[in-house]
A and B are shown apart, each in its own frame.
Chain A
Amino acid sequence: MEKLDVNFDLHEQLVESLSRLHDRYFLKQDNRPRAMAQFDISFHESHSGRVREVLSHREEGGKSIGTFCIYVPEEVALAANVLPIPLCGGSAWAIPFADKALPRDICPLIRSTFGMAIGAVCPYKKLKDLVVGETTCDAKKKVWDFFEFKVMELPQKKRPQDFQLWLNEVVEFKRMMEELSGKAITPENLHEAVCLMNRKRRILQIINAFRKLQSPPISGMDALLVSQVALNQDISAFIEDAETLADELQERVTGGVSAYNGDGRRILFAGSPAPMGYAKVHHIAETSGLHIVADESCTGSRYFNTLVDEGPCDIEGMLRSIAERYFTIDCSCFTPNTERLENIMRLVEDYHIDGVVHHILQYCHTYNVEARTIDNALRKKGIPSIIIETDYSEEDAGQIRMRLEAFAELLEKAK
């Protein structure tokens, strides 16, 4: 059995704080689908049962890697029997550990992750053979220098020569996964992994499509939890739980059951992600008369809105389709990033959005600046939007509540 190198007392405190937060944010909601209970369990198991799963995967000869970004092509790792484990921290609790080593003006996501690692509370710290970072922002790039990470280079533009660079990185990633696992990636196992990941994305698309309805059968909070769990759970188990949820959502729609009591304004949550352990803005919004019916973030549509073309059956063709699919991700690290505005406008229309909440994690400059250009474009269309710049702490909860309540009042009158 591998040693986890975890300080158990501290880890206990972390799990306790996550658990309290989950009770307060998620379990207090009315009208939850019954099937959400399974996602509550998966949330709690992310620091227990899931760790056991990864341990036994490794004991059976499998490998695992840590990841930080939805740009890391999961299907390539899976084809080589390598489990990708997302390490993005969402807990404010771990940040003080990071502050001992990093400057403070770095986004809470990086500080939380780093804090978990050096604070000896991340159970996955030892359960990985490799960590794959990427070059989406300056702070991340430099934090990787602390560790011996493999870094995938993400271009900053989307010209043909940039795609070629990205394709080379995907090919190199494939070679690396084979070398790590000692298992060859064959056309068969790669195609199987492509189809499995697409199944996961499709079921997420189906669940989220229910939110287009006038009375969504699932709350924004719970849809967020599903997306958070999607990144942290065994894929087949996740698909099974998600299918059960989708069936129940269909029943609820047929029976006229809404996740919400009464009327509320329809909100698109856009910008920085809300990793597992963090749901502050969702919680405040949904208890202030705002219904989040769409998430435009890495813990939302950015993760599942496009599929890999399942047509090609040769390795080269499949790697190209995979690279193409990941290259459609409209991360704000690209310039220009016009696809993102187009995608937001489509979501606004498809989900009958009344207003947009731009969620900016402090010091996430690219999303922060982009929020201003998108805000201007939305204004021209008569869609009000509000920019909330925040971190994982609770200290600004009062101010955010005031601003979101006022935003709800404003939208009510605009109707």
Chain B
Amino acid sequence: MTGAIGIDLGSRTTKIVRLENLVVTDLEIFPTSADPLEKVRRTLANLKAEHIIATGYGRHLLCEQIGASRVTEIRACAHGAHHLFPDCRVIIDVGGQDCKVIRVDDEGRVIDFEMNDRCAAGTGRFMEMMAQTLGVSLDEFVRLALGAPDFLTINSMCTVFAESEVVSLITAGKSKENIALGLHVSISRRLSAMLSKYIRGEGDILFVGGGAKNDCLHQLLEKEVGRKIARPENPLIVTALGAALLAG
């Protein structure tokens, strides 16, 4: 076997996974820049594979340009999640510019899914923007929230309106910690509203995507939903892994 490659060209980050006999041999993660194709080409030049499957927002581009096959990130994510956690039936994926909830059956096939519409509310990009508004890094933003004694209610989920809301809280002298936690609470409530319809059934819940690296969000989601929510070791690459598995 000469290997299979999955490429998840996402809105913010590109993930490339190469598998050989179901073992990850190569892993490449880089920001999706203005010219992601060039970086993908350079990475692929050093990797051998029989079959490549592309997914994510750039899947059509990769089909045209490098002759990859394609699947949607919904299917790839479900496949990768099922491989890592065969007992999971509901997956919540928080990515750079969208978030999705997917229900799968006992073989990892998609039964149903839901995703946010055009706006970036509750996504990775929203968190980045809010950290920036508070003048801290994304890691610091999460740390602030985890150490907050209390939270301030943030009503707006629109990135632009939330920004003005945060600015007015800062100018009112409110603590950064409480604002950061407030933002996390509002994201988790939005996500749990999306989840609510999906978690009535049996099976585990799995949290994936870049957003799943956020410990505070993970804790809050578990509290909102009232259930344990599993996370893979590297939540960022689940979709790329699923694509590689489908390519194998």
Say whether A and B bind each other: yes
A409-B117 contact given A384-B112, A399-B98, A402-B57, CB 8 Å threshold: no
Chain A, 385-409, contact with B by CB distance < 8 Å: what is the 0/1 string? 0000100000110110011011001
Which of B71-79, B128-136, B178-186, B221-229 participates in binding chain A? B71-79
- Bound Cα distance A33, B175 (Å): 67
| Residue pair B113, A396 in contact (C-beta under 8 Å) | no
CB distance from B24 to the nearest CB of A (A): 24
> Is A237 interfacial (CB 8 A cutoff)?
no
| Residue pair B73, A402 in contact (C-beta under 8 Å) | yes
> Is B47 interfacial (CB 8 A cutoff)?
no
| Residue pair B118, A399 in contact (C-beta under 8 Å) | yes
- Bound Cα distance A389, B114 (Å): 12
- Bound Cα distance A399, B74 (Å): 12
Number of A-B contacts (CB under 8 A): 36
> Is A142 interfacial (CB 8 A cutoff)?
no
| Residue pair B74, A406 in contact (C-beta under 8 Å) | yes
Across the interface, name the chain B residue whose C-beta is closest to A404: B72
- Bound Cα distance A402, B58 (Å): 11
| Residue pair A406, B98 in contact (C-beta under 8 Å) | no
Of B111, B113, B118, which is in contact with the most chain A CB atoms at under 10 Å from its CB? B118
> Is B110 interfacial (CB 8 A cutoff)?
yes
Residues of B within 8 Å of A396, CB to CB, are 117-118
A409-B118 contact given A398-B57, A399-B98, CB 8 Å threshold: no
When the two chains form the complex, which single residue of A389, A395, A409, A413 contacts B72, counting CB atoms closer than 8 Å? A409
A406-B118 contact given A398-B57, A399-B98, CB 8 Å threshold: no
> Is B170 interfacial (CB 8 A cutoff)?
no
| Residue pair A402, B72 in contact (C-beta under 8 Å) | yes
> Is A410 interfacial (CB 8 A cutoff)?
yes
CB distance from B42 to the nearest CB of A (A): 25
Across the interface, name the chain B residue whose C-beta is closest to A387: B114
B-side interface residues, number (CB < 8 Å):
15
> Is B115 interfacial (CB 8 A cutoff)?
yes
When the two chains form the complex, which single residue of A395, A399, A410 contacts B113, counting CB atoms closer than 8 Å? A410
| Residue pair B57, A409 in contact (C-beta under 8 Å) | no
| Residue pair B112, A395 in contact (C-beta under 8 Å) | no
Of A399, A405, A406, A410, which is in contact with the most chain B CB atoms at under 10 Å from its CB? A406
CB distance from A369 to the nearest CB of B (A): 16
Chain B, 33-71, contact with A by CB distance < 8 Å: what is the 0/1 string? 000000000000000000000000100000000000001
Residues of B within 8 Å of A403, CB to CB, are 113, 115
- Bound Cα distance A405, B118 (Å): 16
Residues of B within 8 Å of A402, CB to CB, are 57, 72-74, 115
> Is B143 interfacial (CB 8 A cutoff)?
no
List which B72-122 residues lie within 8 A (CB) of chain A. 72-75, 98, 109-113, 115, 117-118
- Bound Cα distance A413, B103 (Å): 14
When the two chains form the complex, which single residue of B72, B98, B109, B111 contacts A405, counting CB atoms closer than 8 Å? B72
- Bound Cα distance A413, B72 (Å): 14
- Bound Cα distance A384, B112 (Å): 8
| Residue pair B112, A409 in contact (C-beta under 8 Å) | no
| Residue pair A409, B110 in contact (C-beta under 8 Å) | yes
CB distance from B76 to the nearest CB of A (A): 10
| Residue pair B117, A406 in contact (C-beta under 8 Å) | no
A406-B72 contact given A389-B117, A395-B118, A396-B117, CB 8 Å threshold: yes
Residues of A within 8 Å of B110, CB to CB, are 406, 409-410, 413
Residues of A within 8 Å of B117, CB to CB, are 389, 396, 399
- Bound Cα distance A389, B73 (Å): 20
- Bound Cα distance A396, B112 (Å): 21
| Residue pair A410, B111 in contact (C-beta under 8 Å) | yes
| Residue pair B74, A409 in contact (C-beta under 8 Å) | yes
Residues of A within 8 Å of B57, CB to CB, are 398, 402
When the two chains form the complex, which single residue of B98, B109, B115, B118 contacts A413, counting CB atoms closer than 8 Å? B109
- Bound Cα distance A403, B74 (Å): 8
Across the interface, name the chain B residue whose C-beta is closest to A389: B117
CB distance from B221 to the nearest CB of A (A): 23
Of B57, B111, B115, B117, which is in contact with the most chain A CB atoms at under 10 Å from its CB? B117
Of B72, B73, B75, B115, which is in contact with the most chain A CB atoms at under 10 Å from its CB? B72
- Bound Cα distance A201, B74 (Å): 41
List which B193-233 residues lie within 8 A (CB) of chain A. none
Residues of A within 8 Å of B73, CB to CB, are 402, 406
Residues of A within 8 Å of B112, CB to CB, are 384, 410
Residues of B within 8 Å of A409, CB to CB, are 71-72, 74-75, 110
- Bound Cα distance A406, B115 (Å): 11
Across the interface, name the chain A residue whose C-beta is closest to B105: A413
When the two chains form the complex, which single residue of A389, A395, A406 contacts B75, counting CB atoms closer than 8 Å? A406
CB distance from B158 to the nearest CB of A (A): 13
Across the interface, name the chain A residue whose C-beta is closest to B115: A403
Residues of B within 8 Å of A398, CB to CB, are 57
Across the interface, name the chain A residue whose C-beta is closest to B116: A399
CB distance from A374 to the nearest CB of B (A): 16
- Bound Cα distance A396, B97 (Å): 12
CB distance from B81 to the nearest CB of A (A): 14
Across the interface, name the chain A residue whose C-beta is closest to B77: A406
Across the interface, name the chain B residue whose C-beta is closest to A398: B57
List which B156-198 residues lie within 8 A (CB) of chain A. none
23 contacts between A and B (CB under 8 A): A384-B112, A399-B98, A399-B115, A399-B117, A399-B118, A402-B72, A402-B74, A403-B113, A403-B115, A405-B72, A406-B72, A406-B73, A406-B74, A406-B110, A406-B113, A409-B71, A409-B72, A409-B74, A409-B110, A410-B110, A410-B111, A413-B109, A413-B110
Chain A contacts to B: CB under 8 angstroms: 384, 389, 395-396, 398-399, 402-403, 405-406, 409-410, 413
Q: Which 7 A-B pairs have the closest CB atoms?
A: A406-B74, A406-B72, A396-B118, A405-B72, A409-B75, A413-B109, A410-B110
Chain B contacts to A: CB under 8 angstroms: 57, 71-75, 98, 109-113, 115, 117-118
Given contacts A395-B118, A413-B109, 4 further A-B contacts (CB under 8 A): A396-B117, A405-B72, A406-B113, A413-B110
